[in-house]
Amino acid sequence: MKKNIINFWTNILIFVNFFGVIFTGVLLFRFPYEASERTILGITRYDWGDIHWMLSLIFIILIFAHLALHWNWAKVSFNKYLRMKPKTLIIIVMVVTIFIGILVPAYLTRDFPDRKDFKDSYPKVSLVEVEKKD
C-alpha cells in the first residue's frame, strides 16, 4: 500500500514538474535576450533560466525514482521481450544517459567560443537604445 502512495505522488510530481519545465522553456524562448533587464512576474530572464535548469534536474531525479519504483516490471519486461538481464539494462541506461546528457551537448557546442570570449564580443544594447530605434 505504501509503495502505491509513493508511486502516486511521484507521478503527480512528474506531471506538475513537466508543465513547469515546458512553461519556463517557452518563456525563455519568447523572452528576448536584449530585454533581459526586464522582469516577468518579478523574475529576470537569467533567474527564469535558473528555475528552468532546476526544474529539469528535479524532473530527471523524479524519472529515476519512477524507474526505481517500477524496477521489477522493467526487469520482467526487458527479460521477456528483449531477452536482457537487469545488469545489461542498467549498463545500457547508464551509457545512453551519459551519451545524451554529456557527450552530445559537448559535441554540438564544440565550435562555440569560450563563454568569456562570447560575452566580451556580444553587443551591449540597452532597452533605451532599442526603444529609440523604433
pLDDT of residue 98: 81
Instruction: Write out pLDDT tens, residues 15-41.
Output: 999 999 998 888 888 777 776 677 778
User: Helix/strand/coil (H, E, C) string of 38-99?
Assistant: CEECCEEHHHHHHHHHHHHHHHHHHHHHHHHHCHHHHHHHHHHHHCCCHHHHHHHHHHHHHH
| Cell triple for 51 | 528555475
Q: Where are the domains of the chain?
A: 1-69, 73-134
Instruction: Write out pLDDT tens, residues 47-105.
Output: 888 999 999 999 999 998 998 898 888 778 878 887 877 778 778 878 888 888 777 77
